[in-house]
Chains A and B, each alone.
Chain A
Amino acid sequence: MQQTLFAITVILGTIAVYVLMNRLYVRFTFPLLVPVLTTTIILIILLSILHIPYSSYMVGGQWIHSLLGPAVVALAYPLYKQRHIVVSYWFPIICGVFVGLITGMISVLLFARVLGIDQTLILSMLPKSLTTPVALQVSEVLGGIPPMTTIFVMIAGFTGVIIGPAFMKRLRINSSLGKGIAFGSASHALGTAKSAEYGEFTLSMSSVSMTLSAILGSIIGPIVAWLITM
């Protein structure tokens, strides 16, 4: 009974902080104020002050977390609505996603090698641009540390959301298609959520590339990992 009450408090508390932070973001639209980031920071501070460990938080948190599965499924709808455009641009989409995946994984490998990072950590970093549920499984298959992978996935997401818009302007990536594919292949669902700000076409391009990235990534990941052991 007490546990149920605690779980409900956690869920409502998380939603309340999120709603407040969302209001703040709508008011100021400053990139560092994206609700996921501010809500996370505030909740970490709250949990530390109240001495609540992560495992206790997850008693309630898992209910929110379990909606990620249906949310990934939900992405089929924007995809379906834009299917004609997706089919007619299949070539730039596939090439963009593929190039993104390869450069992403190879660059991690090179930097980490140069800086002498150990192998399990490199393996945990490889799936960073895939959507969380996929990245976790890929990390496990590769022999990485799944919770670590979640964090890299989140960092990749935030990089795209916070630095992405200005960075793409710099590189003159200004077509809706280019932006969507960049968001989806580098910053998975967080980038896809951000891409909604650029309109429905960008959103569906982003969700297409996120999905494709997840599928291709679970195939390419093991090949790149094999290169590490060479």
Chain B
Amino acid sequence: MKIITIIFQIAILYAFSFIGNVLHDLFNLPIPGSIIGMLLLLVGLSLKIIPVRFIEAGVGFLLKYLSLLFIPAMLGIMNHPSLLSFKGSLLVVITVISTMITMGAAGLMSQFLEKREQLRKEKEKCSKHYSQSL
């Protein structure tokens, strides 16, 4: 029974992705269809048009096995043996280093701003006790 629920709910998610793709093609949007579908579902959930229980099981299933879904795309590497050459390995090294830079920059920046915001909130809490200015 649970499997039927999951399949049905994945079909609902699929429909969102489909609608997203249609909108993408129709209006020539730069944002991909699946992302548009996600934003639509987010709006639907927020406005309570779509009850959480309609998608919960399907979402849980897909996200649990998310990495399985990449495998067919990964195997595409078979068609590009040139990546194993010297020039190919250079590209791999660039990608790895650049990814680490991205990771470090994004992580440090957001952590720094998070800490600063927390400090500010604490200060605000303290100053509220003393003054009513602003």
Q: How large is the interface on A (under 10, 10 to 19, 20 to 34, 35 or more residues)?
A: 35 or more
Write 29 A-B pairs (CB below 8 A) sorted by A numbering: A64-B71, A64-B72, A65-B72, A67-B62, A67-B69, A70-B17, A72-B17, A73-B17, A73-B41, A92-B117, A96-B107, A99-B109, A111-B97, A112-B94, A125-B94, A128-B99, A132-B70, A132-B73, A133-B33, A148-B80, A156-B99, A163-B96, A167-B104, A177-B114, A178-B114, A185-B102, A189-B70, A190-B67, A211-B38
A128-B95, A155-B96, A156-B95 are contacts. A147–B80 as well, Cβ < 8 Å? yes
Residues of B near any A CB (own CB < 8 A): 10, 13-14, 16-18, 20-21, 30-35, 37-39, 41-42, 45-46, 52, 55-56, 58-59, 62-63, 65-80, 83, 87, 90-92, 94-115, 117
Q: Is the interface of B mostly helix, strand, loop or mixed?
A: helix
Contact residues in B for A164 (Cβ distance below 8 Å):
103
Enumerate the 8 nearest inter-chain pairs by beta-carbon distance, A residue then B residue, closest first: A96-B110, A100-B106, A182-B107, A178-B111, A61-B72, A69-B17, A104-B102, A70-B13
Q: Of A77, A175, A186, which contacts B59 at CB under 8 A? A: A77
Assess whether A61 is in contact with B35, with CB atoms less than 8 Å apart: no
Give the docked Cα–Cα distance between A219 and B108 (Å).
Answer: 23
Chain A 25-83 residues near chain B, CB threshold 8 A: 34-36, 39-40, 43-44, 47-48, 53-54, 57-58, 61-62, 64-65, 67-80, 83
Whether A119 sits at the interface, judged by CB under 8 Å, is no
Contact residues in A for B39 (Cβ distance below 8 Å):
76
Residue pairs across A and B with CB atoms within 8 Å: the count is 300
Give the docked Cα–Cα distance between A159 and B45 (Å).
Answer: 34
Give the docked Cα–Cα distance between A79 and B114 (Å).
Answer: 19
Give the docked Cα–Cα distance between A192 and B62 (Å).
Answer: 13
A147-B76, A211-B38 are contacts. A154–B70 as well, Cβ < 8 Å? yes
Assess whether B67 is in contact with A107, with CB atoms less than 8 Å apart: no
